[in-house]
Structure 1
């Protein structure tokens, strides 16, 4: 991997965190998960941040994270929150890889408890509507679209070849 960051975007459940960890196993680059860092900095879960302060507050935190990475971090793997590409300039952080997975496949990855932990995934119909809305944003800001319906090894290999 060169000095460019690898930025992983995609809908909730598309595999961003899993692929980030797999890439780390291969090249030992620093992995930064925006949701985890925001939760740690705020001392609250994403669900609690949404509940206490609202979505706009959370999106502002995401954009601050994005700006910090763009100006201070190189050669890292960045796993973003699902909505970050709609509100922040993710391209400023590095090469953007959209992990594309059909909604039905994403749905099959979550149990009821996992869905409950995701504020925007409380209802399947509204989650599908959100998915469809976000698709065009993901595609427009991605340098590369990766088919996430393949093995972890195949996905990581494809990303590494494009970096």
Structure 2
């Protein structure tokens, strides 16, 4: 791994956190999960942040995270929130890998409890609309598009070969 961060983007439930952990096991690099760090810093779940302060407040926290990583962090694996590429310059943080997975496959992966934790996944039709709105953003800001409908080890190896 060089001095460039590995930035994982994709729709909620596409496997960003899982792949970040697998990359950590393979390389030992620091993992920064934007959602987990925001939850920890705010001492609230993402859902509670949305409910209490609104989406604009949450997006501002994501922008601060992005700016901090871009200017202070090297050689890390960065797992982003699903909406971050729409509101932040994710390329400023490092090499961007879009974990692409079809919407129906994402729904299959997420159980009811996991969907409940994701504020923008409360309504199936809204989530599907968001997926289609975000897809071109993910594609345009990615350095690499990775088929996420593969084994964790295959996805991890594909990313490692491109770092």
TM-score category (smaller protein): over 0.9
For the residues of structure 2 that align with 1:114 and 1:5, how far apart are their CA atoms? 27
SS in 2 for 1:63: helix
Query: Are 1:150 and 2:150 matched, yes or no?
Result: yes
> 1:75-154 residue pairs with structure 2 within 5 A?
75-154=75-154
For the residues of structure 2 that align with 1:132 and 1:6, how far apart are their CA atoms? 24
* C-alpha deviation, 1:86, in angstroms: 0.2
Q: Unpaired segments of 5 or more residues in structure 2?
A: none
Query: Are 1:55 and 2:67 matched, yes or no?
Result: no
* C-alpha deviation, 1:125, in angstroms: 1.0
* C-alpha deviation, 1:156, in angstroms: 0.6
* C-alpha deviation, 1:123, in angstroms: 1.2
For the residues of structure 1 that align with 2:123 and 2:94, how far apart are their CA atoms? 33
TM-score, normalised on structure 1? 0.99
For the residues of structure 2 that align with 1:76 and 1:143, how far apart are their CA atoms? 17
Partner of 1:25: 25
For the residues of structure 2 that align with 1:4 and 1:110, how far apart are their CA atoms? 31
Partner of 1:7: 7
Computed over aligned residues only, the root mean square deviation of the Cα atoms, in angstroms, reads 0.5
For the residues of structure 2 that align with 1:115 and 1:148, how far apart are their CA atoms? 19
Between Structure 1 and Structure 2, how many residues are aligned?
A: 163
Which of structure 1's runs of 4+ aligned residues deviate more than 2 A?
Answer: none
TM-score, normalised on structure 2? 0.99
SS in 2 for 1:13: coil
* C-alpha deviation, 1:114, in angstroms: 1.4
